[in-house]
Amino acid sequence: MTSLERGAAVVTGAAGGLGSAVAAALHADGWSVLLTDVDPAAVAVAAAPLGGWSAALDVRDEAACAEIAATAASRGGLGLWVNNAGILVTGPAWEHDGPTRRRVLDVNALGAMNGTLAALAVMRGQGHGHVLNVVSLAGLVAAPGETVYAASKHALLAFSLGTLSDLRMAGYRQVHVSCLCPDGIWTPMLHDRLDDPGALASFTGSMLTPQRVAARAARLARRPRPVVSLPRWRGAQVRLLDALPRLAIGLTPLVRAVGRAGQRRQLRRVTSADRR
């Protein structure tokens, strides 16, 4: 399928980290990609080697999301919308004030909802298209130390799957919604968390590279599935813990120890790389 037949792809939060990696993987797979970010200068730099198509977008702005969807659709239709923009706060929920909690929910949950609905307004008219939401394993299980972040991702997972069911009930068979749930990713979101006790959960499993997650996102874009975890074994593990909350809570000391060991391991890797 050519990029013209596919239509355009939109990636939010694409100025760096996972977003720019996903945009690069989609570009390499033949998509015409519109990179968006709240920082227009940074996203323009990220877009330069991928065709130079970029735009400023604050996902909290519903009207702005609709404008981006229309802009992308003007280039042969909107084939894919990737909701990647997100923010992380760590620590016990009672340590965050109201504006902080609202900002996390506004970006991670409501912002992704805005993007999804803006894309679906176009895709339903076309009769085809795909929304890919980057959820995280924190959307599958409550992550100690990342409670507000996990709550926002749980909301996004429920919204995504419910919306997919609504689409099928309404007769839209070729409009898809997928959720990608990766383990911790070594991006700027975690670069300053190597001594943060609130971020321990992000270091308990496989520390993924943005490129590995982006490659899986590109495959998922070609073959939609409701929920994909990366790596697959971690998805099975956290789903088991989610089904057995008493066990999960009882294992919190072990999670703390494993996460701290993971932070130390990642610090050694970073230090070793810096010395080269």
CB-CB contact of 168 with 123 (8 Å)? no
Any residues with CB less than 8 A from the CB of 70 and at least 6 apart, and which? 122
Angle at 3 between CA 230 and CA 9, to 5 degrees: 50
- Examine the residue annotation and report whether 149 is marked as an active-site residue of this protein: yes
Query: Residue 113 is which amino acid?
Result: M
**Helix, strand, coil percentages, rounded to 5, for the chain:** 60, 15, 25
Contacts (Cβ under 8 Å, ≥6 apart) of 65: 57, 59, 114, 115, 117, 118
For residues 101 and 148, the answer to whether their CB atoms sit within 8 Å is yes
Q: Are 8 and 79 in contact, with CB atoms under 8 Å apart?
A: yes
Q: Are 69 and 118 in contact (CB under 8 A)?
A: yes
Which one of the listed residues 31, 149, 186, 203 is annotated catalytic?
Answer: 149
d(CA 201, CA 248): 12
Q: Catalytic site residues?
A: 149
